[in-house]
Amino acid sequence: MCRASRGVYTLPEVWDDEFVNLQSRYKRGVFSLDTALFLCDLTDRTPHHFHMTFPQGYNVTRPKADGVRCNVASASIYPMGIVELKTPSGIRVRSYGAERTLCDILRPRNHTDIQLVAEAFKQYAKLPTKNILLLSAYADRLHVQGKVRSYLEVLL
């Protein structure tokens, strides 16, 4: 066995998946923002940093020390939109789904690159599984309905 990180071990013949390592170490963390866009296949940019969201009150000192970019969400919005997605190695991890992630990247405090936002909405518009009603509901709860509407009017 090889030690991948503190408390996480892998077999030598198994590819080391950093998504799985982080999920194993920080069980309450949910992949979000750029990382969730990548897992949802809404961008082709591999994330340079891993973004994770934690519930309010969670001590984010260790994840930050490991280079994770941390967000904290209130108990009312933290569980909203959590799904299981496959990593590039095919292992399932907890992440926010496409609709929640699209709303999150539009929030001003997240400072997401405008080109990345436009690309993500274009990819979402092409998805056969898109759920506009769910996207609208999340946009309403996260107070970004106007921004979501402006992107969707152009693309749909």
Give me the DSSP letters along 42-106.
Answer: S--PPPSS-EEEEETT---HHHHHTT-EEEEE-TTTTTTTEEEEE-TTS-EEEEE-HHHHHHHHH
Res 26: pLDDT: 95
Three-point CA angle 150, 153, 155, nearest 5° = 110
Q: Are strands 51-55 and 30-31 parallel, antiparallel or unpaired?
A: antiparallel
Q: How confident is the model at residue 5 (pLDDT cuts 50, 70, 90)?
A: low
Interval 86-108 mean pLDDT: 94
**pLDDT of res. 47:** 87
Q: How far apart are CA 146 and CA 24, in angstroms?
A: 37
Query: How confident is the model over 28-84, as pLDDT tens digits?
Result: 999 999 999 999 999 988 888 999 999 999 999 999 999 999 999 999 999 999 999
- What would the pLDDT profile of 126-147 be if each residue is shown by its tens digit? 999 999 999 999 999 999 999 9
Say whether pLDDT at 121 is over 90.
Answer: yes
pTM: 0.88
